Structures are given as structure tokens and as C-alpha cells.
Structure 1
Amino acid sequence: MSCPFAKTATSGSGCPMKFDQNHYRPQAGSEDRDNVNQKNDDSGIVSPKCPFGYDSHTFKLGPLSCMLCKALLYESSKCAPCSHKFCKACISRFKDCPLCGADIEKIEPDADLQALVDRFINGHARIKRTQVDADTEEVRDEQKNVIYGAVSVERGAFLVQQAMMAFRAKNIESAKSRLSLCAEDIREQLKTSGNTTELCSQLGAVLGMLGDCCRAIGNTASAVTYYEESAEFLSKIPTKDLELVHTLSVSLNKIGDLSYYDGDLQSARSYYSRALDVRRDAVKEHKDASSQLVDLAVSLAKVADVDRSLGNEHVAIQGFQEAIEHLESLKLSSSEASLEQQRHSVLEFLHSQLAEKQEPVSTATV
């Protein structure tokens, strides 16, 4: 889905992060705008530089980042005797220092370095810029207007960026810590601004990611709580935005998956059905959106799978057949290769379910 912080990004530079279904990733095609700006000193364009070495385009954080997870240091620790520094969770997986190869005799906390990292988050990452209009951001002084070009990203996008790098490196507690700070910030904004579409979409996305963190460490109860709250906020947003609709249905499906694995089939069916309803409505609103038809087929398969487990074989077969009809009617272009691959994979699963009625396979991972 689109980054929920995109609207706060610097005009012209775009948001440095993109959402997909499960991950944030750097935006492709970012140009080296700093070099361009340096060549135009007379144009009034200024490229602020972070004194800590943070580059918002390459995501490098200089001395405050962990070379293993590439994110901000979390629970900063140093190896003895070599004194190289990493996140505690990252370095705890090694017996030899991954930087110099020295034997690790012990790992010691580095409170001073962690305090510096925390000050960086609370200070530098809070950079705010006055928005003059929808197209440009200007900072006025007594002599001239200055347009800031490659300013470091806003706190929300910054924290999400760091969280996702840590999550991908399996430093889950680090990711959870950054996302929790982000969620707290948005909740404070909600108190003063109310339930705006932008804030609800941001909080809904961040809460869903917190659910993923809890799920990754086996805390199912907290994961469900976060997913439910994510769905609550995303449900307040008009269904015109397909990517937000997709995120809402994914949150509902994740709760259904956890209920399914826990053996609570009735609860699983309830959440799968809610996701199915959301996707049916989206297809009605956007009949030409290919991705929505694939999502709809997945939801039909999930509900049908639970119906079969509950003994409702006839209803289950109808669900599988409806999903097949949607996918077989879908014609994709050559530019939609990844979606075609997903369509083919789901079709194979559906046909196998009709062919092997006696041994249903869980759709929780579809």
C-alpha cells in the first residue's frame, strides 16, 4: 500500500518509503538530489546535512547504526575485548565479532551510546518544515525565501523506516520499539486533530505492523489486539482507497489466521467473512481493479476452507467454485506478471481443494 506518511514528505523528493502488503521498502529510482542542489547555489535551493551523517536517500546513519541490521542501534552493546558495537539482539547471535573476527569474551551494554541514539530520535528525527502550499515548502527569513530540498524525513516515516530494517533483520524488539514511538506520536495528533483520514490510515498501518512484530515473537494475544485496533481505525476510512481497503482486509485475515491455528474455527470464519465483505464492496466500487479480484478469490477460499472444516461441505464447494470463476474470468496484461503468478498459484490451490475433498489444506497462508 502507499506509505501513510507520504503526504508529509518533502515536495519533489517523494516519500522515502513504500508500503507493500507486508513490508516497507526504499522507493526505487531515487536520484542524488544533493549533488544537483549543490550545483545550483544561486537558485536559493539548500541541501541541509545531518551532523550525525544521516542520509535520507541511502538510509545510512553513520556511527548510530548497527552494521548487522542496518537500523538505529537498539540496546547498544559492545564486544569485549574488541569494543565493536552492535544491537544486543544482533550481536548475541555471534561467537566471533562479525567486524574484526575477534573472539567475543563478553557483551557489555553501552549506555552512553544508547543515550545518544535516543537523543537523536527525540531531536533530529523531529525535524518539521512549514508547508506553504501543496507544491513547495519554504522557510522564510528576513532576506529571501529558501526552499529546502533533501531534508531528512519526518519522524513518523523515519521511525517506520528504521523499524522495517530491524524487522527484516529479525531484530523484532528494535522494530517494536520504533513502531510504538510512532504510534504514540500519531495518537497525540489524533487528540488534537481528530480522526482524520490521514491519521487513521497512518495509525492503522503502524498498529498492523506492531501486530506482525508480536506475532513474530509468539505473542498471539497482543498480535490480535493490535490487528483488531488496526482494523478499527482503517474501518473509519472511506473505501475509495484500494490500498487501504487491502490493508484493512489483510488485518482481518491475520486475526482469522491466528484463530484458525488456535482451533477457534467460528472466530476464524467471522474474521474471514468480514474481510470477504470488505473485498466484495471494493470489487463493486472498482470493477476493473485486477488485484481486488485476486484478493476476493483468496477471501472466498479462506471462508470455504473453514466451512469445510465445520462440516459445511456444500457451502465450501460453492465458495471454491465462485473463487475459480472470478480468477478464470480475469485477463491480465504482460505488465502484471507478479499478479498473474499469484492468480495461477491461487487457482492451483482451489482446483486441488475441489479434487481432494477428503484432505483439506489450510488457506491461512494463501
Structure 2
Amino acid sequence: MTPVCPFVKATRPDDASSKRSGENICKHAAEHESKAKSESVDSGIIEPKCPLGYDSRSFKIGPLSCVLCKALLFESSKCVPCSHIFCKACISRFKDCPLCGADIEKIEHDEETQKVVDKFIAGHARIKRSPASTDTEEEVSKNKSVIYEDVSLERGAFLVQHAMRAFRAQNVESAKSRLSLCAADIREQLKESGDKPELCSQLGAVLGMLGDCCRAMGDAGSAITYFDESVEFLSQVPPDDMEIIHTLSVSLNKIGDLKYYDGDLQASRTYYFRSLEVRRNALLNHRDNASLTLDVAVSLAKVADVDRGLGNEEGAISGFREGVNMLQSLKIDASQVALEQRVWLLGQALLLK
């Protein structure tokens, strides 16, 4: 079965950005974590610890993960009579236990296991001791009034990673839950530190992923709301990062897609054209970027397709022709097999127009 995932999709050439967005967050997290570790050595800050006694390097999530989606359990459910535990959405597709093969007589909610999972998530990488504190680690662990606060972006990368796993397994509710926690964390950081470009870009990417979750669930209204907010935050970031430019333009295109499917061609064209303008402006400074050139051709095709639907045949023909010319002028390195395939697919689509 091919997973429907916002980070790995081939239905539209420009949708691949969601995967890059998730990976970009993880990359930023790794850099931030490395910096945080260096600073903790200098300042004497005890490294953040999980309330269950685990840390990010030694913790194995096996006991708290679902063997089907490979992510942390969500709505933990126990098979009767074998007692094996899975996510509710994952096990609901089976009549026999995937682990032991026993007939599933019924599925029961496992509240106790879910409480442990939720406790781990709530405390993951969030406990920090003040540099001025002289308490020992043992005394800190006995302190009943533990204050939680985000101390690194490692937690965000952790949540995004599990959301990606869940989405690939079509456990969309789980993915949405993890991404919502991640978005809430970043919003809190924005309140404390102001609209830092790095945080705005991360929140914009996560909101875009939430939009994909809602779209997969058939909730177009919520999807548009998330994509709109994604655009709002990504627009606050200086337009000099190619990843941000791509993610921003894709969010605009996805709103255009939803408007298009809803029959609102004029609104659809507005969003498609905004995406085209973002990509055109970026191409002025990156003329030799083959991927960006392809993105512009995609946007030209989208705008032209809507123009044709609106009765603007002349504008449609002009747009399709410009898109074809851009593809013909592309120079692709032999190693860029995936890009070459995207160009071929788009070229075929444009020729059929």
C-alpha cells in the first residue's frame, strides 16, 4: 500500500516540499541541540531529563510504540484475548492480531498504557534547572513542583518525526495530535522571544503539515485555515531561503487546489498567481536553479488551467506555452533522476492541454 503522506507524495510535483519542511525542522533541531549541549557544559546546566528517567539518546520507544505505524501509541487499544497493544486506528483494520495471529474478539481502550505515553510526551526534553540552582539531581527529581518549559527544539523534531511515521501509516489523527503539540510549543517560544525568523519558518512548516492532515481527513475548511496561517508566518521570514520560498509557494498552491475543487475558480486563481509571483521573484536571483524553474512551470500550468476554466483561452494558451518553453530550456544534471522524472511528467501534462 502506498502511504498518503504530506512529506512524500507524487500526486503534484510541488508537494514534495512538505517532506523537506519536516526534514528542515529536524536539521535545525540537531544544530540547536548541539549548541545547547555546548552551552550546558559551559554554564553547568543539567541536561533536560524526562520525568520517566529517559533521555533522547538512550530511550527506546519500543514498549510505548505501535509496531504497525512505528510511532508512539495514540488511543492505545488492546486486542482481546491476546492483549497485544496497538494504536486504535492501526489495529482497527485487522481481524487477526498482526503479532500472534489470534482472532480478535474485541478491541478495548488501554487507558493505563496511554497515560504512560502521554506522560512521556509531556515531559520529553522539557525540564530545566536554573544555572543558579545548587540542588543536586537527586533533589531535583524529588521536587514535586516540577516546572516544564521547552529548552530545545529537539522536542519539536521528535514530535514531527512521530507525526511523519503515523501519517505514512495513514494514522492521521495521531499525526495531527503530535503536530498540534509541536505547533503549541513553537507558539509559546514565539511569545517569549518575539517573531524570530527561525521560529516563524518552523511554525509555518508545521502548520502546513497540519493542513495536510485536515485535507486527508476531508476537512477542507480547517485545511485552508492552517495553510493560510502557514502562509502568514512564512511571509514574515526574509525571502532569501530557498526552502522557505518553496514551502510558502506550496502552501499557497494547496489553498488554490482546495478552492479549485470547491468550484471557486476566481479565488483559486488568486492563490495560484500569488504562488507564481513568489517563485518568479525567487528565480530572478537563482536563474540556474532547475528545481525552482520547474516550480515556476508548475505554477504557470495551474494559473493557465484556471484561466481556461474562466473562459480566458488566450491567457491559458500563453501560460501553457510559457511553461513548455521553460521546460525545454531546462538543463538537468544526469544525477538528478527524480527531477528529470518530474519534468517529463509535467511536460506530458502540458502537451495534453
Partner Cα separation in structure 2 for residue 261 and residue 49 of structure 1? 47
Q: Distance in 2 between matches of 1:93 and 1:107?
A: 11
Contact 1:200–1:233 (CA under 8 A) maintained in structure 2? yes
Shift of residue 337, structure 1, vs aligned partner: 1.4
> What residue ranges of structure 1 are gaps of 5+ in the alignment?
15-46, 131-140, 142-151, 354-366
Q: Give the share of equivalent positions with the same residue, in percent.
A: 65
Displacement of 1:6 in angstroms is 2.4
Deviation at 1:341, TM superposition (A): 1.1
CA deviations on 1:19-58 (whole Å, 9 max, x unpaired) are xxxxxxxxxxxxxxxxxxxxxxxxxxxx99997888769x
Q: Tell whether 2:99 aligns with 1:93.
A: no
Task: Give the aligned partner of residue 155 of structure 1.
Answer: 155
Query: 1:347–1:52: structure 2 CA closer, same or farther, 3 Å change rule?
Result: farther
Matched, 1:247 2:247: yes
Match of 1:9 in 2: 30
The answer to whether the Cα contact below 8 Å between 1:70 and 1:166 also exists between their aligned partners in 2 is yes
- How many residues are matched? 300
Unaligned runs of 5+ in 2: 1-19, 36-46, 131-135, 137-151
In the TM superposition, residue 89 of structure 1 has moved relative to its aligned partner by 0.9
SS of match in other structure, 1:71: coil
* 1:334 alignment partner, SS class: coil
Matches within 5 A, 1:299-310: 299-310=299-310
| Partners of 1:268 and 1:306 within 8 A in 2 | yes
Q: CA deviation at 1:332?
A: 0.9
For 2:243 and 2:251, locate their aligned partners in 1 and report how far apart those are by CA, in whole Å.
12
1:202-259 per-position Cα deviation (integer Å, ceiling 9, x unaligned): 1000000000000001000000000000011001111110111000000000000011
Q: Output the TM-score relative to the length of structure 1.
A: 0.77
User: Is this contact kept in 2: 1:260–1:268, CA < 8 A?
Assistant: yes
Aligned mates of 1:325, 1:60 — CA distance in 2:
52
Pairing of 1:127-146 with structure 2 (within 5 A): none
Question: What residue is the counterpart of 2:230 in the other structure?
Answer: 230
Query: Displacement of 1:86 after TM fit?
Result: 0.5
CA offsets, 1:146-188, max 9 Å, x none?
xxxxxx9811000000101000001110000000000000001
The structure, 1 or 2, with the larger RCO (C-alpha pairs under 8 Å, 6+ apart) is: 2
Q: CA RMSD in A?
A: 2.6
Distance in structure 2 (CA, Å) of the matches to 1:128 and 1:97: 41
SS of equivalent residue, structure 1 residue 229: helix
Contact 2:49 2:124 (8 Å CA) reproduced = no
Q: Establish whether residue 270 from structure 1 lines up as the match of residue 291 from structure 2.
A: no
1:270-349 correspondence runs (5 A): 270-349=270-349
SS at match of 2:77: strand
CA pair 336-189 structure 1, distance change in 2 beyond 3 A: same
What is the rounded CA distance, in whole Å, between the counterparts of 1:163 and 1:225 in structure 2? 20
- CA-CA distance at 1:124 after TM superposition: 3.0
SS in 2 for 1:230: helix
Q: Deviations over 1:118-152 (max 9, x none)?
A: 1111123436799xxxxxxxxxx9xxxxxxxxxx9
* Residue of structure 2 equivalent to 1:120: 120
